[in-house]
Chains A and B, each alone.
Chain A
Amino acid sequence: MMLECRNLSVRYPNGFLALDNFSFSLAKEELVILSGPTGCGKSTLALRLLNIIPQNIPAEVSGEILLDGKETSGLGIHELSKRIQLLLQNPEAMLFSPSVEENVQFGPENLCLEPAEISRRVKDAIQRVSLEEKKLNGPDELSGGEEQRAAIASLLAMAPDILILDEPLTNLDAQGKRDLIEIITALKNAGKSIVVIEHRPAELLEIADRVVCIGGSHSPLERGARSVAGVSNPSHTPAVRISNLSFTYESGFQALRNINFEISRGDFVALTGPNGSGKTTLALCLAGLLSGVSGQIQREGEIGYVFQRPEVQLFCGSVREELAFGLKNRRISKKEIAERVQKIAQKTGFELLLDRHPHTLSRGQMKRLAIASLLILEPDVLILDEPTVGQDEANLAGLMNYLAELNAGGKTILMITHDVELAGDYARSFLKMEKGEIVKYDSLITV
């Protein structure tokens, strides 16, 4: 075995036991998927394997890690990083240098390699992720998929034998996922040992040698919301009507071009399309959060918008305050606020977390809280920007069933998603965007 860990346990200073007596092994040229529910310790394991825990992040640890049969506890992060590299969940944080090329050469420069060797490594790493044409671009000029590939290139330049990829497919559109899976397959064939941490590993099963589950058995997602909640009866009156909508950012970038469509009251619409196609801009326009919009938007009722990145929209000191925030702005009585907070907390699984700070929740929980803090306002139309990101199978099923239940109760839902399969299970109408235009609109409802 190339990498082996025996009876690993990690307990954080707050007493939380993140890993409990976990054993795991990885052979040369093997691709293992590490799966399990949110908070089961997958990322903790990744940090432990590199000795980041306990060297950088304090925690009580036990068990042993063997690399080529040798104990790694005495090795520093720098030494281990020559053999093992980790792709963090947030690729933005990994791209700290001003260009792709600078990011990739940063590691080899720190290793004091000869300039010729650095250039060779940089060229090879960028070639492997097919970013030759974007090597001088800044991180802001890359799409989500390109960012992920640039981050992987920066790991490859360190020439590791083992790669640990923490949720590499999250946030990627269909094309981005296909490209990345191709790269991972090529890396495996080139002799790398790879661990992929994924909540929902279905897309990777074909190329994986094994699936290892932490914290419970891996069960397929129980979808089929309509069977749970029943089919709603959308009315033939529009909830939203858009005519000749265009939007250009002040930078000159035209994000939307002459958009026309209607959403029926009670409909469940999936809005899909590649990264950068204008989906989020369209949602922001619908929610009335952008000014300078040309064209007409008619809204029959109130629109609630749940942002893509949960962490920037949670700003209160506790889950309870977060849920109550919107209601307070409407000057609703304290008694009613308390009742409605309790009710929504029960529905969304936050009853026991009401006094927690929102930023101490997992990413999946933060996303659910963001949705709950909007749902409590009972909007007529709910727009959700990538609600499935970071959700494990169980949470995702719970969330989607809840949305289906709301939809069955007459709520209109517009969901932006890259998960076409999921959209197929729940949505009734499908909007597809490309380059700021609606290129396809299939609706089972005729308005």
Chain B
Amino acid sequence: MILSSLFKYYQADTLIHRLDVRVKIIFLIVLSSACVIFGNPGILFGLWLVSLAILFTARIPWSKSKYLFYGFVFLAVTVGLTQGLFYYGPRIHLIFQIGNFKFYQEGLIYGLIQSLRSLTILTAGWTLALTTHPMDLLFGLRKFKFPFEFCFLIAMSLRFLPQILDHIQANYQAQKARGFVFSKFSFLDKWQALMRMLSTVLLTSLQTARDTALAIDLRAFRAYPKRTFVRENPLRAQDKIWMFFLLATAVLIVIAGIKGWGLGPNSAYRG
């Protein structure tokens, strides 16, 4: 597996790829808001299916998405199980008990709700990152009036994150090449190997950051209070339609929240 490919922009010609970045950002905000407002597991499951449908529409290959997808599912299951065990809301229906650990139905449902929320938001966020060129993301954030320095920082992170992951992989292989096979050593040895890996990656990242800071300075970054922006893309007609549709949906979600629709079997499950 090439770690860095997990977060790299995936080039394709799909509806999702063609959408203006501002539409995608608004979609992510609306979907995340819906996840927070609704507490009904059925509705949340539906929202997750929506985010999955969008991921598939973007034609992200399974070879690229499976590792992160496994990660999401692992996170969701972990959240579900821990909430089932350690939920502190009203606990009525005991499912099973191991020693002092009691597993309640209410906790399981609460965990399921939280898992679905995380899965939906993470899937949609990841789809945004994979289908949007970092240059467009920078542009989109700037259009939402985020300071240029902040947008630049985000775009740089996306630019260098794959590089950092490449360094981690190279370091892993370098240790292996000198006889350190992770599976054959003790937990303590593994921990030390991990620390060696992290410190090396931190050092190399700092060196790249230092050189990059130098290159930025040499190109007059923040030399003047203002700067020129060459790119000014207006929204296309189809993007405006999508934007209208999303904003209308946002209004409906807010109304549903106020009316108390879709809160789930017990409002306490909303979290």
Residues of A that sit less than 8 Å from B by CB:
50, 52, 56, 76-78, 81-82, 85-86, 88, 90, 92-94, 96-99, 102, 105-115, 118-119, 122, 138-140, 154, 158, 249-252, 284, 287, 289, 304-305, 307, 309, 311-316, 325-326, 329-330, 359, 373-374, 377
Provide the B213-237 mask, 1 if CB < 8 A to any CB of A, else 0: 0111111111110111110000000
Given A250-B2, A251-B63, A312-B174, A111-B133 contact (CB < 8 Å): no
Given A56-B214, A81-B218, A250-B5, A118-B174 contact (CB < 8 Å): no
Which of A93, A99, A106 is in CB contact (< 8 Å) with B211? A93
Given A250-B5, A359-B203, A97-B159 contact (CB < 8 Å): yes
**Which one of B9, B173, B176, B219 has the greatest number of beta carbons of chain A within 10 Å?**
B219
Is B196 a contact partner of A315 (Cβ separation < 8 A)? yes
Which of A105, A110, A315, A329 is in CB contact (< 8 Å) with B174? A315
Whole-angstrom CA separation of A107 from B216 in the bound complex: 8
Of all chain A residues, the one with the shortest Cβ separation from B137 is: A98
Is B135 a contact partner of A99 (Cβ separation < 8 A)? yes
When distances are taken between beta carbons in the complex, the residues of chain B under 8 Å from A154 are 219
Of all chain A residues, the one with the shortest Cβ separation from B172 is: A289
Which of A109, A284, A311, A316 is in CB contact (< 8 Å) with B204? A311
Which of B63, B171, B177, B227 is in CB contact (< 8 Å) with A110? B227
Which positions 53-69 of chain B face chain A at CB distance < 8 Å?
61, 63-64
Given A118-B228, A326-B178, A315-B197 contact (CB < 8 Å): yes
A-B contact pairs, 27 of them (CB 8 A): A76-B223, A81-B218, A92-B163, A93-B214, A96-B216, A97-B155, A98-B133, A98-B134, A99-B135, A110-B224, A113-B228, A158-B218, A158-B220, A249-B2, A250-B1, A250-B2, A250-B63, A251-B63, A252-B63, A289-B173, A304-B177, A309-B170, A311-B207, A315-B175, A316-B196, A373-B178, A374-B178
Q: Indicate if B102 sits at the interface (CB-CB under 8 A).
A: no
When distances are taken between beta carbons in the complex, the residues of chain A under 8 Å from B218 are 50, 52, 77, 81, 85-86, 158
Is A289 a contact partner of B228 (Cβ separation < 8 A)? no
Is B223 a contact partner of A78 (Cβ separation < 8 A)? yes
Is B230 a contact partner of A115 (Cβ separation < 8 A)? yes
| Cβ of A147 to closest chain B Cβ, rounded Å | 12
Is A325 a contact partner of B200 (Cβ separation < 8 A)? no
Whole-angstrom CA separation of A325 from B134 in the bound complex: 40
When distances are taken between beta carbons in the complex, the residues of chain A under 8 Å from B158 are 98
Whole-angstrom CA separation of A242 from B177 in the bound complex: 20
**Which one of B160, B162, B212 has the greatest number of beta carbons of chain A within 10 Å?**
B212
Is A52 a contact partner of B173 (Cβ separation < 8 A)? no
When distances are taken between beta carbons in the complex, the residues of chain B under 8 Å from A90 are 208, 211
| Cβ of B20 to closest chain A Cβ, rounded Å | 16
Is A102 a contact partner of B135 (Cβ separation < 8 A)? yes
Q: Indicate if B72 sits at the interface (CB-CB under 8 A).
A: no
- 10 additional A-B pairs beyond A96-B159, A374-B178, beta carbons within 8 Å, are A98-B155, A107-B219, A110-B219, A111-B223, A115-B230, A119-B230, A138-B159, A140-B8, A329-B179, A359-B203
| Cβ of A259 to closest chain B Cβ, rounded Å | 20
Is A110 a contact partner of B222 (Cβ separation < 8 A)? yes
Given A78-B223, A325-B178, A251-B64 contact (CB < 8 Å): yes
Whole-angstrom CA separation of A140 from B174 in the bound complex: 22
Q: Indicate if B199 sits at the interface (CB-CB under 8 A).
A: yes
Is B170 a contact partner of A307 (Cβ separation < 8 A)? yes
| Cβ of A245 to closest chain B Cβ, rounded Å | 18
Residues of B that sit less than 8 Å from A by CB:
1-2, 5, 8-9, 61, 63-64, 133-135, 138, 155-156, 158-160, 162-163, 167, 170-171, 173-180, 196-197, 199-201, 203-204, 207-208, 211-212, 214-224, 226-230
| Cβ of B133 to closest chain A Cβ, rounded Å | 6
Whole-angstrom CA separation of A307 from B63 in the bound complex: 27
When distances are taken between beta carbons in the complex, the residues of chain B under 8 Å from A307 are 170, 173-174, 177
Given A93-B215, A315-B171, A252-B61 contact (CB < 8 Å): yes
**Which one of B135, B156, B180, B226 has the greatest number of beta carbons of chain A within 10 Å?**
B135
Whole-angstrom CA separation of A314 from B228 in the bound complex: 42
Of all chain A residues, the one with the shortest Cβ separation from B189 is: A329
Is A330 a contact partner of B5 (Cβ separation < 8 A)? no
Of all chain B residues, the one with the shortest Cβ separation from A114 is: B228
Which of A50, A122, A140, A329 is in CB contact (< 8 Å) with B178? A329
Of all chain A residues, the one with the shortest Cβ separation from B178 is: A326
| Cβ of A267 to closest chain B Cβ, rounded Å | 21
Is A118 a contact partner of B226 (Cβ separation < 8 A)? no
Given A56-B214, A109-B229, A315-B199 contact (CB < 8 Å): yes
Is B216 a contact partner of A312 (Cβ separation < 8 A)? no
Given A86-B218, A252-B61, A312-B200, A112-B159 contact (CB < 8 Å): no
Of all chain A residues, the one with the shortest Cβ separation from B171 is: A312
When distances are taken between beta carbons in the complex, the residues of chain A under 8 Å from B134 are 98, 138
Whole-angstrom CA separation of A335 from B200 in the bound complex: 28
When distances are taken between beta carbons in the complex, the residues of chain A under 8 Å from B197 are 315
When distances are taken between beta carbons in the complex, the residues of chain A under 8 Å from B174 are 307, 312-313, 315
Is B228 a contact partner of A284 (Cβ separation < 8 A)? no
